[in-house]
Structure 1
């Protein structure tokens, strides 16, 4: 489990595609990796991945084809900046929101506007996650825990404070670029429960 509080920005060093998986090596600081071991989890741009090799300056993970295609890793390039977060330890504060590291979909940035000391990012609202993003709710963009500032029928917006601009790769986003999206797990459960209740009512109504 993760919190969406990015610890540092890493850099993709190598991408090696095999027949059944993709091997990706990422550079990171000694501080982040000092007690990081093979088998440990790391969220990279919001995707929970397991280390297969670790050195003092980088680590390697395997990405399954389904994950590769469902996330922005399908188009990632060497030298690309990636948001990194270690898995939450049991005695740590939960200061962002609960992030599973299971990306729901990708979406593109449709508008970027500077407002005073912040930046407003507006993204297309993919139909497959309709109802899972609400104003003042939480969403993880490239693994970053953010509060939704506005929602329309076709888009949603979040605000970046200066700290988030400097300590995540979201400040470097350009209009048209794609990001990983994970909606709030609590919203998913509520949506599923409401859907189940509606189906039960419908079955009773038609006499099944």
Structure 2
């Protein structure tokens, strides 16, 4: 489990594609990798991955083809900046929101507007996650826990403070570029429950 609070921005060092998997090597600070071991989890741009090799300055993860093509990893290039967060320890503080590290889909930035000391980012609202993003609710974008500031039928917006702009890769994001998105897990369960109840009611009425 993760919190959506990015610990640092790493850099893609190497991408090795094999027939059934992809190995991705990412640089990170000695501090972040302290006591980090093979088999441990790391969220890279919001996607939970398991390390298969660790050094003092980088680590390598194994990515399955489905994950590779479902996320922005398919567009990543060497030297790209990525958000990094280690899994939250059992005694850690949950200061963001519950993030599983399982990206739902990707979406693109449609507008970037500076407003006073913040920057408002507006994204396309993919139809497959409609109803899972609500104003004042939580969403993870490239692994960053953010509060949704506005929602329309076709888009949603978040507001970034200077700290988030300077300490994550969203500060470099350009209009038209894609990001990984994970909606709030609580919203998913509520949506599923409502859908189940609705289907039960329709089945009941259909049988009368």
* Aligned equivalents of 2:163, 2:181: Cα separation in 1: 20
Partner of 1:34: 34
Shift of 1:154: 0.3
Measure the CA separation in 1 of the matches of 2:122 and 2:16: 33
Consecutive unaligned residues of structure 1, counting only runs of 5 or more, are none
Q: Are 1:130 and 2:130 matched, yes or no? A: yes
Structure 1 residues 55-74: aligned runs within 5 Å: 55-74=55-74
1:177 shift after superposition: 0.4
1:39-63 alpha-carbon deviations (Å, 9 max, x no partner): 0000000000000000000000000
SS of the residue aligned with 1:158? strand
CA deviations 1:169-206 (Å, max 9, x no partner) are: 00110000000000000000000000000011011111
Consecutive unaligned residues in structure 2, runs of 5 or more = none
Q: Deviations over 1:121-150 (max 9, x none)?
A: 000000000000000000000000000000
Q: What residue in structure 1 maps to residue 23 of structure 2? A: 23
Question: In 2, Cα distance between the equivalents of 1:181 and 1:199?
Answer: 27
Question: RMSD over aligned Cα, in angstroms?
Answer: 0.6
Q: What corresponds to 1:190 in structure 2?
A: 190
Partners of 1:78 and 1:128 lie apart in 2 by 30
Q: Using the alignment, how far apart are the partners of 1:130 and 1:140 within structure 2?
A: 15
Tell me the alpha carbon deviations over residues 45-103 of structure 1, each in whole angstroms, 9 at most, x when there is no partner: 00000000000000000000000000000110000000000000011110000000000
Normalising to structure 1: TM-score of the pair? 0.99
Identify the residue that residue 88 of structure 1 maps to in structure 2. Answer: 88
**Helix, strand or coil for the counterpart of 2:204?**
helix
After TM superposition, what 4+ stretches of structure 1 lie above 2 angstroms from structure 2?
none
- Number of residue pairs the alignment of both structures matches: 208
**Separation in 1, partners of 2:82, 2:172:** 11
